[in-house]
Structure 1
Amino acid sequence: MNLRKNNPTDYDLVKQYIDGNHDSIDVLITRHKDRVYTYIYLIVKNHMLTEDLFQDTFIKVIRSLRLGKYQDNGKFLAWVLRIAHNLIIDHFRKEKQNNTFSKDDYELDIFNSSKFCDENCEDDLIRNQIHQDIRDLVEELPPDQREVVILRHYKDLSFKEIADQTDVSINTALGRMRYALINMRKSIDDRNMSLTFQ
């Protein structure tokens, strides 16, 4: 008796859905709906908003599966919760449109975005997510670009001080920062990350 046929894994169901079995997505949603709904509700504390975000989450899940954006690593639920989490952050961010800094250039956009006006749990959620995402992006940069970003934005050095410390010209330091920001932007776009602060 094949237990996997009677009790397919998330991976099996995803593969079946991608292969054209549309019933498989219903099984996946039914399997995880309580965890996803509860996760959203514990953060937003509003049933109507939770319903909307829950629907949006699975619409995005289905769209991402169709576009081949899911890489199975045995953590389907974690992936779904990450999508939900990003949609929650998007919602809170839209509510705060009037309280964010103006977006004059993309350096300010990336590094000053977490300075919101009110201090509450929504701000903490957004800030923590932004900080973690930015740290991850910085870690992925080539070493010379990563060094300039850390010295500039985490150690608060001027470009002249960075040039002196790294033994390069100011233009080289500025160029490395420029390429670092371009690379970070590309990663943000490629991963469809929620780091647009408008």
Structure 2
Amino acid sequence: MTHPTEHRLTEAEIAALYQEHGEELRRFLWGVVGDWSQIQDIIQTTFHKLVEVGHETQPESRKAWLFQVAYREALADRRKKGTQKKVLGQLQEIQPEPTSVNDDPLVRAEMTASIREAIQQLSPDLQQVLRMRIYEDKTFIQIAEELDIPLGTALGRMRNAMHKLRGKLAWTQRDT
């Protein structure tokens, strides 16, 4: 039995595929995400996957495989950004409507300190899930796998953390 690494694509093969399809992938991804910095990240991830598992693809189907991987990565990136936007929106619901006072850097710094303090008051389990989801952009499936807990537990911890943060931050807002 041969070892799988013996059949991995060579650097020259990967470079040739990048040279042949890189620009076309960029144009394709521009239509999907419309942000050059994201496109570069997605292409890097796509070719990283090519390095890892590209040898398992048929040479005649590698172009289609590259486009499929890039498209899936773009969609995953869009989902991450949507989730971040949703969480930030939920946190903003806690805070008062923007006014000229909230534009003051001192007020924003105080709000940030309040949020950090509220997060630190959560249990370590809730803090861990919250940080993994918001700051590390991990999916709940990834969080559940890494923590070796059921998916429902990961979701419940996030919901519990958000609920407790709303309560703590609403209380802070009433005090000011």
Common topology (TM > 0.5):
no
Bigger CA radius of gyration: 2
Relative to its length, the structure with more helix (as a share) is 2
Q: TM-score under structure 2 normalisation? A: 0.41
